[in-house]
Chains A and B, each alone.
Chain A
């Protein structure tokens, strides 16, 4: 069972992708529900809002404990939450993967864009449609962090151990590749 953090954001869109893969999934709104899932998606949304809600209901330690044992995947705002460090402006994060990110690294909504990127999960490269919406930019990739996709010269998807991140929104396109990859990481 894959959980999708349902505090705020496009969690329903991730659920639809997992449904299309026949992968069991559920929305997670309470910390105790973490015990019922094998992997967790941090969806797109507003990272500042998510931080306030995580503060209000004491999510930080339970999420840190969960990620120590099980796979997690952060897209866009979700990537910001799991990064080691965040700029523009600086804000706290879970520090689950050794990357630095810059919020709104590609500009405001008027600069949001679609493009075709290169996804290479297993050495083989294939084209993938990608949507970047007020997206964060990966400013630094730590040693031991594997780049899994690029677009316009930037790494836009990366993995370190059980932690997967993407600065784009695979849940808003018809391409199931990224969700299939995460489902395999979780082993469901």
Chain B
């Protein structure tokens, strides 16, 4: 954006990652309606993620799942004072352009929705609105960052209520980063080739031992203990999808997961917030899930 003052800038990478910095140590909750958004905000969510249906329902009902309707998005933005994120289909840059024009605060180019493009993800550098993208490993994380993502989250297995895949993805990213820090400079180009990742980003990770953007957990978080586990494994914040609004008492569970994310290293707090939570969502054993039914294999 131009201005009389040439130092005035919007949409810079550090403004994009800056908002993610503000979300650290907090919980971002999937919501479908304005009513759910209000429950999430009142429970202490740092942000809400708008989508057409929560992953557990997408899994159960099938069909094509898309960006939220404009009416729903407007209602959610109206009712909350916290940042509003919204999901778009992988590669669907027209949906993303609409969300940017609507004033949504973060766009999630998400495998949870039905992909719009089987070859290409969105050119996220072309946008002023920041993007978050999912990953299963370091190569995938760095490809998305190369395209302009300002925040990375694990894919996990959305709508499963099972934390095992998020753990696998977080551990994989962490292990691969640690390995890069042990390599000599002449080994980094080969590592970039093996990871399928931009060389400059591989160099950066080798020098710094972490991702150049915030690294959050998502996909299967259903309990306060799950949130604590992901934070202890190195996540800087937590996304909760179906885990809240598919549970017996969403408001109480949401608040418990918020408190567990703050005090993730304190088992006494985890006990206190985990008591009398009501029913957790019914989970799915990953082994019983057909490869074609896994959401995490969407995108590359």
Interface residues in chain A, defined as those with a beta carbon under 8 Å from any beta carbon in chain B: 6-13, 29, 44-46, 48-49, 52-53, 56, 76-77, 88-89, 103-104, 108-116, 131, 133-134, 152, 169, 172
Knowing A46-B47, A49-B258 touch, does A113 contact B22 (C-beta < 8 A)?
no
Contact of A49 with B44 at beta-carbon distance under 8 Å, contacts A103-B81, A108-B103, A112-B10 already known = yes
B residues near A133, Cβ cutoff 8 Å: 15, 18-19, 22
Q: Is the CB of B25 within 8 A of A6?
A: yes
A49 touching B45 in the complex, CB below 8 Å, given contacts A88-B81, A114-B15: yes
Closest A residue to B80 by CB, please name it: A48
Residues of A within 8 A of B276 (CB): none
Residue interface mask B88-103, A partner, CB < 8 A = 1: 0000000000001001
Q: Which residue of A lies closest to B44 (CB)?
A: A52
Check: B219 CB closer than 8 A to any chain A CB.
no
Closest to B15 in A: A112
Apart from A108-B103, A113-B9, A114-B8, list 18 A-B contacts with CB within 8 A. A8-B262, A9-B22, A9-B25, A45-B22, A52-B42, A76-B22, A108-B83, A109-B129, A110-B11, A110-B105, A110-B128, A110-B129, A112-B10, A113-B15, A114-B12, A114-B14, A115-B7, A134-B105
B113 to chain A, nearest CB (A): 21
The chain B residue sitting closest to A51, CB to CB, is B44
- A46 touching B5 by the CB < 8 A rule? no
A117 (CB) vs chain B CBs: closest residue: B7
List residues of B whose CB falls within 8 A of some A CB. 5, 7-12, 14-15, 18-19, 21-26, 41-47, 81-83, 100, 103, 105-106, 128-130, 255, 258-259, 261-263, 266
Tell me the complex Cα distance, A111–B10, Å: 7
Distance A49 CA – B12 CA, assembled complex (angstroms): 26
Contacts of B24 in A (CB 8 A): 8-12, 45
Asked if B15 contacts A131 (CB within 8 A), the reply is: yes
Please tell me if the beta carbons of A109 and B46 are within 8 angstroms of each other in the complex: no
24 A-B pairs whose Cβ atoms sit less than 8 Å apart in the complex: A9-B25, A11-B25, A44-B21, A46-B26, A46-B82, A48-B41, A48-B81, A49-B26, A52-B44, A52-B255, A53-B258, A103-B81, A109-B15, A109-B106, A110-B100, A113-B10, A113-B15, A115-B9, A116-B7, A133-B15, A133-B18, A134-B83, A172-B14, A172-B21
The CA-CA distance from A23 to B9 in the complex, in Å, is 32
Chain B residues lying within 8 Å of A88, measured Cβ to Cβ, are 81
> Once bound together, how far apart are the Cα atoms of A19 and B38, in whole Å?
39
Task: Assess whether A114 is in contact with B22, with CB atoms less than 8 Å apart.
Answer: no
- Residues in chain A near residue B259, CB distance under 8 A: 53, 56
- Whole-angstrom distance between the alpha carbons of A45 and B15 in the complex? 14
What is the CB-to-nearest-CB distance from A119 to chain B, in angstroms, rounded to a whole number? 14
Cα of A119 to Cα of B285 in the assembled complex, Å: 57
A125 to B10, CA, bound (A): 25
In the complex, A113 Cα to B81 Cα: how many Å?
Answer: 19
CA distance A101 to B129 in the complex (A): 25
B41/A29 in contact, CB under 8 A: no
Q: Are B103 and A110 in contact (CB under 8 A)?
A: yes
Closest to B84 in A: A108
Q: Which residues of A contact B21 (CB under 8 A)?
A: 9-10, 13, 44, 172
